[in-house]
Amino acid sequence: MMELHKISRRSFLKATALSGAAAVFSHPLSGGLVSTASAAEAPIAAAAEEETKIVKTCCRACIHNCGVLAHVRNGRVVKLEGNPEYPMSKGALCAKALSGVSALYHPNRNKYPLLRVGKRGENKWRRIS
């Protein structure tokens, strides 16, 4: 018969704290004991060289049309954040708005209107011209 090892609450908390500390100190941006700064510096340096333009616009993900600041780099939106000057939302954005970048560039997004040609659930569509 297999014997169960008894672990005290104190030893469990010690082990959890040690594993958490090891995870934090091994993270490249923490500057901890195990650092891979050279690998982390390359994307940061490349991003610093590229100019990011901020464009004021409105979100169309829901009916509220909140004010958005779109960060555009090389003609592509890289980040969306709330516009603090917009009087209705005052810089706040919902989850739909924050996922707008992935909705804009996802490969399976709808790029044109579709019309169902098969029965419901068959997933047969044709493009409307």
Q: Tell me, what amino acid is at 1?
A: M
Instruction: Please pick, among 6, 96, 111, 124, the residue that the annotation labels catalytic.
Output: 96
* Whole-angstrom distance, CA of residue 84 vs CA of residue 93: 10
Maximum Cα–Cα distance across the chain: 72
Cβ atoms within 10 Å, residue 23: 11
**CA triple 112-116-121, angle to 5 deg:** 120
**Known catalytic residue: 96?**
yes
End-to-end CA separation in angstroms for the chain: 72
Enzyme catalytic residues: 96
